[in-house]
Structure 1
């Protein structure tokens, strides 16, 4: 038996475009003489369609798309993901389903049994869980079909506690093959876990397992691909490409050469960010991005990512110096723009800054300069970027990192302005790692940008360390508290950080919640991002 895995990048809600892509991949797969062509979860509508599912015409249109796919399945079995109506009285009206289609007719449906409602997932809001395990006889082989989360419970990697285990329920069926349709979002250090999940299922069922994963950027979420094929012993036989569409065949009876899964975590993080920008723009018909290029490390990283995602001719960098900007940072910004071949403009903000100070001075009641004047500069820069965005049809790329956003070391309607927060889920220490990785062969980002102590340059001789602890400390606390839900006491005991400092950072984290609620959408690359999957009240008395 030969299975061809169609690892595709759908657009959420583009039923016509997604259906055309499915039909094209069926045609492409036919040259490999497949018995089965496997697509990802919710292929027809893309994952996750969210409240589009409340529109009956959306569901009805999906049925029409399925009918067209059925007609294209002569002499082959195609398994594709879709949404369909459930018939459960008193339950949710929809199923997250896989349609098993063969030779021009639908053999049946498998309905996803485990519906995650944690982190970035909210499937129980829309779907009724399937009730039974199902198998199909295909080309003389007994084939089981499950969907995404159904395989994760068995391995113990899920964050939920379910009352059934769809993999264990198939043990007595004596399968020849298990197929999984998946839409599994990327997070740093996750791809190898997906292989382990498939391996555990294969060993339990004593049969090969093939998982087809969606790829692409959909709003906050990145799907990295890396579809998996393991043998009955759990050995990795084939691996789909990461961060791009792929089509590959798995011959079950052929001798296999086990494949090692060696991947570069920093490279994959970079590829995830590039894909997130590229698809956020491309899937909406946008082409051009602009950003403030200060000469600092964060904007340097975002400029490089934008160049890789959009092309140098579609990126505009604006340097907006003030009285506090240094010659070194200004020259670094200009040099980086030259290295990247992107458009570069310099728009000094001294004149509007002076005008605002003169306008507001009578109303400041003689109070000394403080963070107010610092934020004025950031907001002037935000106004300039948004004006250029409106006039010249650019999407503004916000350049703040997760460490700064976590502690509120950012300015509402200033450096937080934008249409996409590219690195809002990237810790400051990871920013340095990424920039060093970019420079691994030659110096693209000026070395002084990386080695110079970070500064917002909003007051004389300002350094980030004047307002924050070392970023190594900040990032340890943020990761432990936000991603791992550890208490202040647990963090202080595990790391050599004084409990008073841990408590202070946690208080600052919660105080900045109102800022993060007003931030632009950000690309999720960690286990727990601020932009999606994390819900905390602004007004609360637990930590303040």
Structure 2
């Protein structure tokens, strides 16, 4: 029985969706480590046994059964007198409904089960599709401490926490599966401040870590005292076991000790999110590494740098695929980038296969002029070669298109859109340039790439070009990227009207053109590989526009 002091361990783990036994072992190891540090209770993240988000996987009864069995086995293991566990798992209630649950395990038993009340159904979340909402919860008893266990979205409104406070909770422990996007850590903090102010209770926020398809979970677990001051702060983008000591003070609890990690600034956070998302996608899906076309341009260069930071140089294979329009400058820049990163670099000229396609199509194309068709054949030839290397050696092809290009369809289906994963899919071109310069200036601890300049300066400063025809530049087809990106952010992230965008100083005809390009490129984006979510609204689950769509804002 706890009287006036206890030690809490917060397990910021990196589970894998569907790997129930592996995830249970992560929990088991965290509990062993916490026991060595004298902890009484270990708090884990939302649905840690299933991995988050499990999506329709939880509609498979055999999967849910395995999760529940794993939880019950972990409960049995708590009979050893060590720490109790708070874990997340899908759970079938007595009436047969499926819930997103949090389970308290202690003294060899499942001591309590609570169901998530507020199921998110916006942005990347669609939990109402698979889970039933639970009733408003009361607190659970852990060795004499009355603990409230709201689950993630339950703290984004006041109802659940107020109910817990009114029914006698002394402390709120919150398992979360909260994905990263820009300034997300500050947004979470403000929500928690609101709940602490309303309830007068300290709150511990445990967040998941790791990449899951397009989502990246950044960790950053923390706690606030009842007076809203920071009790402890765990790091972002790393697994961690946070130990804190709590003491009863009057009618409440106060955290007496806990680490205070420094959170990264925005540039470092965005970079680390891209690296973590890519690395986990490759490793969790069992690829032995990646292969990419290294063109001498900024997009492929930054993707190569991220891949090395995520996987190590030995798992990254770059291939230059030159044609007659490829400049000597590009060949030199690509080789310099590969050398700076220490990665394997090969050259496979594409003249023969491109000319072969031209010969095969010559009678069919007779009497027509060359246009983007012939340009796209170059890109698709590169895609075929990269996929052949991938098939032969097992490495995943990385896609390297940025959000600006994907927005307006400045990309070739089955060509440069070809691949398995794209770490910069949600970065606008201006952000790509900014982050490339940032990475040259510093390397965050824990990343696997080299220090110093990893993207040659000339790649950052030269005029961008696809090099699919003589003297081509991106600005032949697109406005300057700072203009394009501002218009796109207004259209995609903000859903602003054309009139409101025009008030920002943009030409109405250009806004109309960009909006039209955005809509007609939807069919391409539906066929694009997944990539890391960075902005508040990425292309994927965040933005579900129809492909067939005749609406245009011409008011």
Separation (CA, whole Å) in 2 of partners of 1:329 and 1:184: 41
Separation (CA, whole Å) in 2 of partners of 1:502 and 1:313: 45
The reply on whether 1:491 has 2:514 as its aligned counterpart is: no
- Given the alignment, which residue of 5, 13, 25 partners 1:8? 13
Equivalent positions of 1:404-415 (< 5 A) are 404-415=405-416
Q: For the aligned residues, what is the CA RMSD?
A: 1.7
Q: For each residue in 1:469-492, what CA deviation from the matched residue of structure 2 results, as whole angstroms up to 9, or x when unmatched? A: 111122112222212222222222
Give the conservation status (yes or no) of the 8 Å contact 2:245–2:258: no
The reply on whether 1:58 has 2:58 as its aligned counterpart is: no
Separation (CA, whole Å) in 1 of partners of 2:375 and 2:195: 56
Return the offset for 1:50: 1.3
Separation (CA, whole Å) in 2 of partners of 1:104 and 1:337: 55
- Given the alignment, which residue of 241, 245, 262 partners 1:247? 241
Q: In structure 1, the residue corresponding to 2:148 is in which secondary structure?
A: strand
Match of 2:38 in 1: 33
- Given the alignment, which residue of 120, 143, 150 partners 1:146? 150
Higher mean C-alpha deviation, range 137-146 or range 62-71: 137-146
Separation (CA, whole Å) in 2 of partners of 1:87 and 1:486: 47
Q: For each residue in 1:250-275, what CA deviation from the matched residue of structure 2 results, as whole angstroms up to 9, or x when unmatched? A: 21235468958653111111111111
Q: For each residue in 1:108-153, what CA deviation from the matched residue of structure 2 results, as whole angstroms up to 9, or x when unmatched? A: 1110000011111110011111112210233433211110000112
The reply on whether 1:471 has 2:481 as its aligned counterpart is: yes
Separation (CA, whole Å) in 2 of partners of 1:405 and 1:191: 27
Separation (CA, whole Å) in 1 of partners of 2:261 and 2:67: 39
Match of 2:491 in 1: 481
Higher mean C-alpha deviation, range 137-146 or range 59-68: 137-146
Q: For each residue in 1:349-390, what CA deviation from the matched residue of structure 2 results, as whole angstroms up to 9, or x when unmatched? A: 122222222322222232221111111110111111011111
Match of 1:181 in 2: 175
Equivalent positions of 1:28-177 (< 5 A) are 28-74=33-79, 75=81, 76-88=83-95, 93-154=97-158, 165-177=159-171
Match of 1:223 in 2: 217
The reply on whether 1:518 has 2:512 as its aligned counterpart is: no
Give the conservation status (yes or no) of the 8 Å contact 1:292–1:385: yes
Higher mean C-alpha deviation, range 23-32 or range 401-410: 23-32
Give the conservation status (yes or no) of the 8 Å contact 1:42–1:96: yes
* Unmatched runs of 5 consecutive residues or more in structure 1: 155-164
Give the conservation status (yes or no) of the 8 Å contact 1:96–1:127: yes
Q: In structure 1, the residue corresponding to 2:149 is in which secondary structure?
A: strand
Separation (CA, whole Å) in 1 of partners of 2:40 and 2:281: 35
Return the offset for 1:305: 0.7
Return the offset for 1:101: 1.6
Return the offset for 1:82: 0.4
Higher mean C-alpha deviation, range 405-414 or range 13-22: 13-22
Match of 1:161 in 2: none
Separation (CA, whole Å) in 2 of partners of 1:506 and 1:446: 34
Give the conservation status (yes or no) of the 8 Å contact 2:196–2:203: yes
TM-score (norm 1): 0.94
CA 1:527–1:63 in 2, change beyond 3 Å: closer, same or farther?
same
Give the conservation status (yes or no) of the 8 Å contact 2:17–2:51: yes
Q: For each residue in 1:304-348, what CA deviation from the matched residue of structure 2 results, as whole angstroms up to 9, or x when unmatched? A: 011111111111101011111111111000011011110000111
How many pairs were matched up? Answer: 530
Separation (CA, whole Å) in 2 of partners of 1:473 and 1:171: 50
Q: For each residue in 1:165-221, what CA deviation from the matched residue of structure 2 results, as whole angstroms up to 9, or x when unmatched? A: 212323423532111000001112211211222222112211211011110111111
Q: In structure 2, the residue corresponding to 1:96 is in which secondary structure?
A: strand
* Unmatched runs of 5 consecutive residues or more in structure 2: 1-5, 248-254, 443-451
Give the conservation status (yes or no) of the 8 Å contact 1:322–1:349: yes
Higher mean C-alpha deviation, range 322-331 or range 249-258: 249-258
Match of 1:443 in 2: 453
The reply on whether 1:536 has 2:540 as its aligned counterpart is: no
Q: In structure 1, the residue corresponding to 2:487 is in which secondary structure?
A: helix
Give the conservation status (yes or no) of the 8 Å contact 1:86–1:128: no
